[in-house]
Amino acid sequence: MKKVICAFSKLVLSFFIIFLCILILTPVFIPKYLEEFPTTLVIDGFYALPENNIDVLILGSSQVMTSVSPMRMYEQYGYTSYNLGTEQQNMVTSYYLLKEALTYQSPQVVILDVRFLFPYAEDFPLNSTGEFVRKSIDPLKWSENKWEFIHTVCNLDAEQELLYYLFPFFRFHARWSDLSLQDFTYPLQNKNNPLRGFSISRQIDTENQFEGFLITDSSLTAAPLPTMEEYLYKIIDLCKTHDISLVLIKTPMSNGGFQESEHNTVEKIADNANIKFIDFNEKSVYDAAAFNASSDYNDDTHINYNGACKITDYLAEYIADTYSLPDCRSLSAFDHWNRDLQIYNQKISE
């Protein structure tokens, strides 16, 4: 009997050691996205904020990552905000990122880009490829929200495997030959993000000629993807439950990336829900923001730093005219924002 107990104890100990090794190695093997669209740093930087530290939360895909600069908004108006945009962020992802964000922050305003309400990667159930969905899930802290997010993704997309989300090591263990020093040091680094989720783009698409479109026929509409529409309404309801003002936006896109029919559809949803929709593709808004195609685009769908300043200023002015948010620049509790603002200004001048 003693031999059986001893053998069983050794087996349990072996499994425990293996499990412990997997837990230790998982943060090393999970890919880190820290460059052009640094999704990993965006999410980790959000967690690094003190709780209840922001009044404006921005959600959306890479288009919003390059279009709204929280630190410029802070410098100009003193509003504290965070850009929680991630690559190919569909409405399901936006909803769960919002749920997770509300665990730590109490924003008064949420700004949501609506590009993924309509087909983008429509061959995939989540309107995004699995790779980009993972980018937004893997950096999240373990919580009820993350658990629910994973289950929703796996239920909606049969090709997503629950095991790989619960134990990312099994998904990425083959990366061992690609590991760099950064993979080992990043988990130990300070995750503060002085850009507050904003991605600086310097490239200028000088051949871009988009000048915004006129609304000529309000009866033209485009059909949203059903799952994306369902989760947009979940976002609307979640904001109402938390007494948050939701503002829908669409950043400028050329080559028909966002058209009059899509504008009209979102406008009707916004009107019915009694929320604001700001479409920078619509000519009156495009012109009011002083947007210039030949200087403000990075490519057909993304905005460069010049354009981001204009979009950020327009949104900040709208917030100033519509809501009563505090100016935090002179408050001692936000000295760390002033320190990060200096770092931000150094980065934009590089």
Question: Where in the chain does DSSP place strands (E)?
Answer: 56-59, 81-83, 109-113, 245-250, 276-279
pLDDT of residue 225: 96
In a domain? residue 26: no
- Classify residue 12: in a domain, yes or no: no
Task: Considering only CA atoms, give the Rg of the chain.
Answer: 22
5: in domain? no
CB 168 within 8 A of CB 27: no
CB 46 within 8 A of CB 38: no
Is 13 domain-assigned? no
Please report the pLDDT score of residue 154 as a whole number. Answer: 94
Per-residue pLDDT tens over the stretch 184-194? 888 888 889 99
Q: 24 in a domain, yes or no?
A: no
What's residue 16's pLDDT? Answer: 57
Of 273, 252, 283, 277, nearest to 264 (Cα)?
Answer: 277
251 occurs within a structural domain? yes
The CATH code of the domain that includes 325 is 3.40.50.1110
Q: Which domain does 144 fall in, by range?
A: 31-348
pLDDT confidence of residue 163: 82
In a domain, 90, yes or no: yes
Number of compact structural domains in the chain: 1
From first to last of its 350 residues, the chain has per-residue pLDDT tens of: 666 566 555 555 555 555 555 555 677 677 777 778 899 999 999 999 999 999 999 999 999 999 999 999 999 999 999 999 999 999 999 999 999 999 999 999 999 999 999 999 988 999 999 889 999 999 999 999 999 999 999 999 988 888 888 887 767 766 767 778 888 888 888 889 999 999 999 889 888 888 889 999 999 999 999 999 999 999 999 999 999 999 999 999 987 789 999 999 999 999 999 999 999 999 999 999 999 988 999 988 899 999 999 999 999 999 999 999 999 999 999 999 999 999 999 998 87
DSSP secondary structure letters along 26-48 = HHHHS----SSS-HHHHHHHHHH
Residue 18 domain-assigned?
no
**CA–CA gap between residue 131 and residue 306 (Å, rounded):** 30
* pTM given for the model: 0.93
